[in-house]
Amino acid sequence: MKKHSFKDWVIATRPWSFPASSMPVLVTIAWVAANGFCVNWWLSLWALVNIIFVHAAGNVWSDIADYQKGVDAADTFGVHALVDGEFTVDEYRRLSLILNAIAILGGIGLVLLTGPTLLWIGLAGIALSFLYPRLKFMALGDVVIICCYALLPMIGTSFIASGAIRWEVLWLALPVGLITVAILHANNVRDIETDSRAGIHTFPMMTGRRFGAGLYAFEVLFPFVWLVGLMAFDLEPWWLLTAFVALPVAVKNARVMLAYKQGGKASYANLDEKTAQLQLMFSLLLVVGFILSIIL
């Protein structure tokens, strides 16, 4: 059996995708503080670390399903650790179970310190994480992503950070969640042919690449329009204009996707990673905006 370094194990969890789960938590913490609620910083940090473990476990579990279903193959893009024999399925399965155990123990600790309300939010998140591969193969991956990486973490974090669910934070779930969904969407638009060969169904397979490319552009650009609406109706501070520093990156990503015919598949092969980077930039700029609204 091949000996793996700690770095190998970390790479197996696809850490480049972690902004999808960590940024909604960070944005929510900043939102809670900016709205004058007393923030439990210790529990907030705990929640941030814990959701990364949940995400890492879900990534590994999903990779196992993709490999066994034939979605990941020698000629497909993405992680090839299982395909190339760098890891065995049993090693991946053990890694997923260890990460899930850490996440569950961390979640139990948070429930004991905050209350049973968090239990139901956590159970929903873990259940969707395990069910994600099956639901993804049924063209329901986008729904799971918006729930796991926008709605549930933002509701749960508002409860952990402030002691109560702050439903108003969900105004920000749409812009944050749409960019996160765009990560999956970029992947699925790219992989229409190979996913079809594997016998699974994704939303871009149902709509076609042209519509899929347009939808991706909407997912990365509409969040900025939504932010303007929130600020115009005085639902969020105008300091969130800081997020518009990320607009040129979103426009560039959208142009790459919309030019798929001219550039070919290679031109947007890594657009999922670039979209994760956009998510990181967009969300951190939101956090900066909230910090400015507090101190200025």
Question: pLDDT for 253-263, tens place per residue?
Answer: 999 999 988 87
pLDDT for the residue numbered 51: 94
Determine the residue type at 128.
L
Burial class (CB within 10 angstroms; exposed 0-12, middle 13-18, buried 19+) of 144: buried
Q: What is the pLDDT of residues 190-206, one digit of tens each?
A: 888 888 888 888 888 88
Mean model confidence pLDDT for the chain: 91
Of 23-32, 73-82, 170-179, 287-296, the range with the lowest mean pLDDT is 73-82
CA dist 137 and 119 (Å) reads 28
Residue in this structure with the two tokens 């959208």, named with its chain if needed: 254
CA dist 29 and 105 (Å) reads 22
Residue in this structure with the two tokens 């115009």, named with its chain if needed: 232
- Give the DSSP letter of residue 242: G
Cβ density class 154-175: b for 16+ within 10 Å, e for less:
bbbbbbbbbbebbeebbbbbbb
State both tokens at 21: 């789960």
Q: How confident is the model at residue 85 (pLDDT cuts 50, 70, 90)?
A: confident
Q: What is the pLDDT of residues 33-68, one digit of tens each?
A: 999 999 999 999 999 999 999 999 989 988 898 888
Please enumerate, as own/partner, the contacts of 258-267 that have beta carbons within 8 Å and a separation of 24 or more: 258/213, 258/214, 258/217, 260/189, 260/209, 260/213, 265/190
CA distances from 155 to 28, 135, 189 (A): 8, 22, 30
Q: What is the mean pLDDT of residues 246-257?
A: 97
Q: What is the pLDDT of residues 19-41, one digit of tens each?
A: 999 999 999 999 999 999 999 99
Q: How confident is the model at residue 147 (pLDDT cuts 50, 70, 90)?
A: very high
CA dist 150 and 177 (Å) reads 5
Q: How confident is the model at residue 103 (pLDDT cuts 50, 70, 90)?
A: very high
Helix (H, G, I), strand (E, B) or coil at 102: helix
pLDDT at 245 > cutoff 90? yes
pLDDT at 78 > cutoff 70? no
pTM value is 0.93
